[in-house]
Every structure is written in C-alpha cells, then in structure tokens.
Structure 1
Amino acid sequence: MIAVVQFGGSNCDRDAVQALEQLGYTAERVWHEDGLPADTDGIVLPGGFSYGDYLRAGAMAAQSPIMADIREHERRGVPVLGVCNGAQIGSESGLTPGAFTTNERARFQCEHVHLRVENAETPWTRRFEQGAVISLPIAHGEGRFEITEERLATLRANDRVLFRYCDPNGNVTDGANPNGSTDNIAGVLGDRDTTAVLMPHPERATLPSRRQAGTDGQGILHGFSERTTVIE
C-alpha cells in the first residue's frame, strides 16, 4: 500500500491517490499524526501548502514525528517520492540534498514545462530513454532549487540529478528555467535511488485528457513498481 501523507495544508493528496489508483496501485491518504500503516510499501509526500508555508515551505511539516518513521522506511528501501511541497519537505528533513526557495521572479509559476531525463537508471525514470524530454505541469512559488557549488559537484559526480528544465528540444537554457533553479535542476535523488523529489507534478499528467498535460507522469509514478528489495 502506498501511503500518501497528508499534512495540514496539503492539497494534492487526493490527486496523488487518484493517479496511483488509476495506474493499478493501492493508495491511501494517511494523516501525519497517525503514523504509517504496517503494510506501507511506498510513500508519497504530496504537494500543497503545509502549515501555510510559514517559516519556509515544508519547514514545519519536516518536524512532524512521522518523518522519523518515513526516514526509517526509506533506509530500508521503501520508495519515497516528494512532489512540489513534498519536495520541499523532503529537502527540509534531509531526505535529499539542497533546498527549495522563492522563485527568482518572486511570483507563483503555474504552467507546463519540459524536463530532460538526466539519469534513466532509477526506478522513477527507467521507463524513459536517457536524455528524453517529457512534459509536466508546475505550480509553485518556492521552487527554486539551491545548493552549494561543492554539493552540486557531488550531485553531478554521483549522477544524482534526476531532471533538468529544458526547452522542447532538450536544450538546457536559462530561458527554459521557470524559477531560477541552480543548474536548471527540477528533481534530485537522495542517498538511494528509491528516494526522489521533484517540483513538477507527475500526478497531474497521467491521463490522455485536455484537462491534463499528457501522460508523462505515468512513467514516474510507476517507479513504485521498480522498487528494490526492502531490508527488514
């Protein structure tokens, strides 16, 4: 069962459950004060505005006791995916490196963007080719990824960058960067390939419908099928 963790202010938890169920997974919203169910074999930290983004986006949710449980599951190889506000929570809690802060133009960005797959050897990207260009929607005011030069060099050396913002032809340019993220980074991996965060919303791109931005999000969400063996 994939646990979609709900904090006060989460607003994409139902979207995540619906998208996962449409892909054949069993998913359930879990209130953060209730802890993870015993049968949890996947975790989503969904988008929204947990605690009104007070202090910093994701900072207060990262202090919830459930995060210790999530880190323990993550250590055992249970897949963890943080999306938008969930990415901010993931970085604030130390699941992934770097930080997400106010967009360069200090305004809320809501649009479809193109992403280049930088590492196709992860559970979240194995259904894409290396260098493939996919399209997902973004909706954030604090999505600018920041990291020190030293840690960025480590990310690159260890192939931990998952996606970069690009143009439709796969060119990574300043013009294709919607929020000023360092090195155009849109998503990164944690210490394990089973842990990832990204600012764009894969759960909003799972249906062939004019209401959604295509179906590229399916490949990312199917990362829950590409899990490694859990260490008990």
Structure 2
Amino acid sequence: MKSAVIVFPGSNCDRDLAVGLEQVTGRKPAMVWHKDAELPEGVDFVGIPGGFSYGDYLRSGAMAARSPVMRAVADAASRGVPVIGICNGFQVLTEAGLLPGALMRNAGLSFVCRPVRLRVENSQSLFTSQYDSGEEVLFPVAHHDGNYQADEATLDRLEGEGRVAFRYLDQCNGSARNIAGIVNDAGNVLGLMPHPERAVEPAHGGTDGRRLFEGLFETVSA
C-alpha cells in the first residue's frame, strides 16, 4: 500500500501516524507538505494527522482546510481513495466539507488526554472490517476541540445510513450522541477524534488501533 501523510505547520502526530503505517504495511509513507499541490502518483491511502495545524488560529482545522494540498486530497477522495483524519485531521475534514458537522470546544472547556472506551458501531466500512459491530475497543484521546456537533437531521442521517463508525461509551467531550468517528456517504473518508495510531503495539498499552490499519491494508492490497 502506497500511503501519504499530510503535514501542516503545527502537526505533531504526523510521525506517530507514519510509524504506525510503516509497522503495518512495511513501507514508509510519503510525508506531504501542506503547500504541495499534488499527492504522490499512485497513492492508495491518505492520512491527515493530529496536532494543532496553524496553531489552531481562527478555528481548529479551518486554515489547514484551505491549504493547496487539500484540493488534491479532495480530488483523491472523490476518486475513492481512502482518507482518514485523526483528531485535528477530523477537524480539517469537516472544515474542508469532506465530512458533515463541526468540532467545537469540549463541553468541560478542558483538554482531555486519556484512554477512552469506544464501541464499534459499523464493522462494514473500509476502516472497521477487522472489528465486530458492537465490539468495545480502547483508543487514546488528546484534544480540546473534540465536541462533535451537527443538526438533528444530519445526525439522524448519519445514524440511519450506518455512518457512525465509533461511539464513546463514556462521556468524553460532549459530542452529540457520543459520536467519536464518522464516515462519508461513499464510505472511503473517516474522521475520528481518538488516536488509533497510538494503539498499534504493546508498548502503547494496547493494540486495538492496529486492526483499523490492518483491515484497510488488506482491503486496498486485495
């Protein structure tokens, strides 16, 4: 699998994602700078990492969403290339219009940094094929603006179409309906606040995140 990790000024989880992808695929991903207008030729997967792109000025992810590389990411997504946005990457995807809704300040107005319990809501997506629906997993979170919100009609549509990928089992940040991650209508774009790339080897304290990348790798390489 030929993968690419987008790097913005202020990204601080790009290396985490790159290391996780290399461990699963055996191949280092291309690190793509935000000013680049194109992705590497033949890329099979794009990852938008966590961090604080552009220092979270204006709104988290709002400036990064207007970077030149995001036009290339949007084009790739429209062709069916899998794209994942983790934490700040989820914020970037909503700001870019690739996913519905918005990420707001945590309900408690404090930074949340701890492992959280999640339920896999849909095991039929590109990203969750190695999980069972209803399975409980443990991913770390580290965010201040992870409160996912959307209007009721959008929330109902996400639920009805099976596009909620992960849900918090415990109150984390005030997200509507405890939504932790969603996919787009085509199923090839996933945004989630928890960090699966920080749960890929035993030294991390758990490996529940590894199966997300393994399932994607198997699907893309088939």
> TM above 0.5, one fold?
yes
- TM-superposed CA distance for 1:37, in Å, is 1.1
Query: Does the 8 Å contact 1:44/1:81 carry over to 2?
Result: yes
- TM-superposed CA distance for 1:197, in Å, is 0.5
Unaligned runs of 5+ in 2: none
Query: Does the 8 Å contact 1:136/1:213 carry over to 2?
Result: no
1:162-191 CA-to-partner distances (Å, cap 9, x unmatched) read 00001xxxxxxxxx1110000000000012
Please, which of 80, 99, 102 is the counterpart of residue 77 of structure 1?
Answer: 80
Over the aligned positions, Cα root-mean-square deviation in angstroms equals 1.3
TM-score normalised by the chain length of structure 2: 0.95
Q: Distance in 2 between matches of 1:28 and 1:214?
A: 26
Other-structure match for 1:197? 191
Distance 1:194 1:109, change over 3 A: same
Q: 2:60 matched to 1:33?
A: no
Q: Distance in 1 between matches of 2:215 and 2:98?
A: 17
Runs of 4+ with deviation above 3 angstroms: 226-229
1:112-171 CA-to-partner distances (Å, cap 9, x unmatched) read 0000000010111111111000000000000000000011111111111000001xxxxx
Q: What SS does the corresponding residue of 1:33 show, helix, strand or coil? A: coil
Q: Distance in 2 between matches of 1:11 and 1:136?
A: 18
Letter of the 1:49 counterpart: F
Unaligned runs of 5+ in 1: 167-175
TM-score normalised by the chain length of structure 1: 0.91
Q: 2:57 matched to 1:54?
A: yes
- TM-superposed CA distance for 1:221, in Å, is 1.6
Report how many aligned residue pairs link the two structures: 218
Task: Describe how 1:124-203 pairs up with structure 2 within 5 A.
Answer: 124-166=127-169, 176-203=170-197
Letter of the 1:81 counterpart: I
Letter of the 1:14 counterpart: R
Other-structure match for 1:8? 9
